[in-house]
Amino acid sequence: MGCCSVTARGANLKQDGHEEVELLQTEGSRKQSETGSLSPNGGPYSISHHQATCVKHEVPDKPVLFWGKSHANLDDMILSEPIHGWEGQDIQTYGKVVRSSLIFMQIRGTHSQEIMECFLVLFPLHLLILSLDHQDRRFIYQGLLSLSGMKVFSLWTSIGHTFEISGPMIESRQISCLNSRERDLWISELQHHILEANTHYSLVYPSINILSFLLPCDSMWKKKELIRYLTSCPIRDWEGRAIQHLGNAIYLSAVQVAHTIDADFEDRLLVLFSEDLVFLSVDAEKTAVTYQGTLPINAIHIKESIAWDGRLEFQITGHMMEPILVCCSTIGDYNYLVFYLQKPEESDCAISPPPVPTVPAKYRRR
């Protein structure tokens, strides 16, 4: 994820007036009477309503100034000016800005230990992450996370007043604020809006009803509604980039898949994105969706193989992966998937391309 790297220590004044913040603190300077409570072993951090109210009344929000703009100016800029690399629908459809702050972020579970300087923006049901381009004075899109299913933990680290966010479809992120009060306000706001998001999606998309109503997805409007559901609600065992970051879903189809011709077929939802093919399964009660794997489209090939009994089948092959046989339920699904996924045959007289890089097979069988 592209971002501007910052050092954890230093206070060099930049030409545009932005100042790097000293985040490292010694153990001796750390206050023992931090607001809030921390359960043993880094458990969930909880702030009482009284504590959160006291923090808000004692320390009103102060402008975070950079690029010569006040805090309010920066919020207006996010809603009114283009964000470089923005993906998805119009940002104003996400509602008003509830809270925003300059923070430092590190993604857990990655090989890089880079600390990213970011501007964190809280909407009623989403959390927006932006990096800063100080030279051009613009924001760069780094991700939009759904609050539904998200969890918040408070952490003690060497880089400041930190909390961690995690969820069923996102990589865990450590977020360091400029002071303990800022952290407490963020945790309080996030806990409140996470609860609202969980309530909102349980009402809008009650899983026990919506999946049973939309499956089988035998009409286009059902496919569209099911895509909306999949990109808004938690998916069990999800791995890698959040589904919202794969771009707009191009097509969805209910199919049956098998690893070999002789193997038993299993029901799957196939979701086609511009660069990825995602496999999902639905439980027998149609109450939950489980992640089954992802294949990068540029690393797979399609072979048409309509069965003798008229089944609409094609085979997916690729480097270092077991062939997958896909059976479609309608001719429309079959034609669309084959047309989009099929690549032209390479000519013997054509210039030989470089070797295809090794792509580990992400699709796994349950």
Alpha helices of 205-300 — where are they, by DSSP H? 207-214, 220-230
d(CA 314, CA 149): 36
**Hey, is 53 helix, strand or coil?**
helix
217-341 placed in CATH 2.30.29.30: yes
d(CA 147, CA 167): 8
Domain boundaries 37-203, corresponding CATH code:
2.30.29.30
Give me the residue label for tokens 């707009």. Answer: 248
d(CA 136, CA 227): 36
**pLDDT grade for 203, boundaries at 50, 70 and 90:** low
**pLDDT grade for 115, boundaries at 50, 70 and 90:** confident
- The closest alpha carbon to 173, from 244, 114, 232, belongs to 114
Residue 105 has pLDDT above 50, yes or no: yes
Range with lowest mean pLDDT among 38-52, 68-82, 199-213: 38-52
**pLDDT grade for 247, boundaries at 50, 70 and 90:** confident
Tell me the pLDDT of the chain averaged across its residues. Answer: 75
Domain residue spans of the chain = 37-203, 217-341
Give pLDDT, residue 146: 82
Give me the residue label for tokens 């998805």. Answer: 88
Token pair, residue 343, equals 């690549």
Kindly tell me the sign of the dihedral angle through the C-alpha atoms of 350, 352, 353, 356.
positive
d(CA 250, CA 331): 17
More confident residue, 252 or 23: 252
More confident residue, 269 or 63: 269
d(CA 211, CA 130): 34
Number of Cβ within 10 Å of residue 204's Cβ equals 12
d(CA 198, CA 193): 8
C-alpha 80: how far from chain center:
23
> Which strands, in side-by-side order, build the sheet including 138-146?
138-146, 126-133, 116-122, 99-107, 170-177, 160-167, 151-157
Residue 50 has pLDDT above 70, yes or no: no
Q: Is the pTM of this model over 0.75?
A: no
d(CA 328, CA 307): 11
- Which residues, 6 or more positions from 225, have their beta carbon under 8 angstroms from its beta carbon? 210, 214
Give pLDDT, residue 259: 81
CA distances from 78 to 98, 177, 190 (A): 13, 20, 20
d(CA 131, CA 142): 7
Residue 200 has pLDDT above 70, yes or no: no
d(CA 341, CA 300): 8
d(CA 161, CA 269): 42
Q: pLDDT tens, 11-20?
A: 343 444 443 3
* DSSP symbol at 220: H
Give pLDDT, residue 215: 86
- Tell me if 37-203 shares its fold with 217-341: yes
Q: Quick one: average pLDDT of 247-258? A: 92
